[in-house]
Amino acid sequence: MYKITRVEHLVDKDWLMDVEAPYVARKAEPGQFMIAKLGELGERIPLTIADYDREKGTITIVFQVIGASTEKFSHLKVGDYFTDIVGPLGRPSELVEMTKEELEKENIIFIAGGVGAAPVYPQVKWLHERGIEADVILGARNKDLLIMEEDLRKVAKNVYVTTDDGSYGDKGVVTDVLKRLVNEEGKKYTRCIAIGPVIMMKFAALTTKELGIPTIVSMNPIMIDGTGMCGACRLVVGDQVKFACVDGPEFDGHLVDFNLAMKRQLTYKTEEGQALLELLE
């Protein structure tokens, strides 16, 4: 059993929790995720590890209510328990494998869309702790849906905020900001890491391809076992089938078949939506 020690309602459907999970906290690296389960027969839900405190043995998770299980998660209080937490899962960000010298040669831009700010944060923080400062473009549909801006400002070189409706920051989408930074302000980025809704990652990758910036995206498809056995999380990357849970979640954004990923996500949404309706009835 894994005790919840902090619950914060971030915005709208986004929640943040700290959970006692010493093993995961000790092993987690930026880019990895975990699976949480509530109740013996609960659904296994993959969640971003937004932060970890190795000394306290806690991990910070951020999730969005998108279906019945995450709706149940959002009713948990401090002192409640998750039945199971499995992780850390997936491969760490490739930044973790790089030497300090290699990192110092990089000029990295992160693009975080909506709840994608949660997996972006530990990577930017990890770099900051090693003296490497990265830029971040933080986007959301409107001001009320922006998360982790203050956290990111503490660890990033620059945070450029953009909202679709212009209620905060620039009006427009994340790719507008990226184009402006590169084409008008002359920024030269060696690498882009884009995490957010699949549609955002698709357009971010199209833009960075035009701009010639190598790009990593983090895919979060439906997962069941999280260990490469069930095939639920399969994606097409280049001419290969990959499993997000063991081969990812990060992939070359210029090779991911985003349209196929979106089609599979829609099927999932229908089932999740149905389960949510049943729960709320």
Contact residues: ligand FES, CB under 6 A: 223-226, 228-233, 243, 245
What the block records as the tokens of 273 is: 């939506």
Q: Which of 48, 41, 46 is nearest to 62 (CA)?
A: 48
Nearer to ligand FES among residue 103 and residue 224 (C-beta): 224
Nearer to ligand FES among residue 9 and residue 263 (C-beta): 263
CB of 235 to ligand FES, least distance (A): 10
CB of 229 to ligand FES, least distance (A): 6
Nearer to ligand FES among residue 158 and residue 227 (C-beta): 227
CB of 207 to ligand FES, least distance (A): 29
Sequential DSSP letters for 79-130:
T-EESEEEEEESPPPGGGGS-HHHHHT--EEEEEEGGGHHHHHHHHHHHHHT
CB of 248 to ligand FES, least distance (A): 9
Residue 84 · residue 68 · CB < 8 Å: no
Nearer to ligand FES among residue 199 and residue 232 (C-beta): 232
Query: What's the rounded Cα separation, in Å, for the pair 259 and 29?
Result: 29
CB of 33 to ligand FES, least distance (A): 11
CB of 91 to ligand FES, least distance (A): 12
Query: What's the rounded Cα separation, in Å, for the pair 265 and 201?
Result: 14
Nearer to ligand FES among residue 169 and residue 226 (C-beta): 226
Residue 160 · residue 135 · CB < 8 Å: yes
Nearer to ligand FES among residue 176 and residue 225 (C-beta): 225
